Amino acid sequence: MIAPKPHTKRERRWWWRGAALIVVASLAPVANAGAGGPVADPSVLQPPPPPGAVCRADGMYVICDTFLDLASTNEPIFDLPCGTVYETSIDHRDGTRWYVDNLLVKRRVVAHFAATWSLSSTGAGPTVAVAGDSNWWIRLGVTGVESTGELTSHGSALRVTGRGLGGTIRDAGITYPDGSDRGVSRFLDGPDGGVALCAALGACGDLP
């Protein structure tokens, strides 16, 4: 059985994966761009941007740029009837934050994800390819209070390709702040949902 996943069906794509990720380079500085000079003390911003953020004044805004690189190597992520699935991945995220009067009003993240899945804890044997290209906005209902953020996400967050899989595993479309979504979200649905993935990973014999 596949372990249950939290949140809405489209939000879950980040959560089941995130538990297995290891930070290898966190929020490193990026080059200044656009109008305005660097902000001398980003700690006055609320909530403060992550360490390493590069912030600049731009009209009514202070804009902060960050990026985050995550990676995993042969990390167990979920179980199938044929065994545990291990993931090796790279996940790159570019972030932008907008502040007005030193208070956060919105932020955006663009994410690119590439991985392989295997039934081997060493990554040996057959694998399938996993990819995702998504972006999301979080707009704060109360400026400076992140808990009031409302999420809108777009893109192809999860796409798994391999022999015989077709569209068995795919998550693409748009999710709105109220939790509703449009698009396609399939993750090994149904009682036999894992059979195709097991076969693609070489555990269920050859496919016809």
Mean pLDDT by 10 residues, the chain (208 residues): 36 38 35 53 89 90 93 95 95 96 96 96 94 96 95 94 85 93 83 82 64
Confidence (pTM)? 0.74
Q: What's the pLDDT score for residue 1? A: 32
* Distance from the Cα of residue 99 to its chain's centroid: 23
List pLDDT tens digits, range 98-149: 999 999 999 999 999 999 999 999 999 999 999 999 999 999 999 999 999 9
Q: What's the pLDDT score for residue 193? A: 67
Owner of token pair 């998504």: 134
Q: What's the pLDDT score for residue 168? A: 79
CB atoms within 10 A of CB 165: 18
Owner of token pair 């894992």: 194
Rounded to the nearest 10 degrees, how much is the dihedral formed by the CA atoms of 1, 114, 149, 16? 20
Q: Are 17 and 87 in contact (CB under 8 A)?
A: yes
Q: What's the pLDDT score for residue 6? A: 34
Q: What's the pLDDT score for residue 158? A: 92
Q: What's the pLDDT score for residue 165? A: 86
Which residue, 140, 159, 89, 154, is CA-closest to 118?
A: 89
Q: Which residues contact 139 (CB under 8 A, 6 or more apart)?
A: 105, 106, 149, 150, 152, 177
* Distance from the Cα of residue 122 to its chain's centroid: 24
Q: Where in the chain are the domains?
A: 12-200
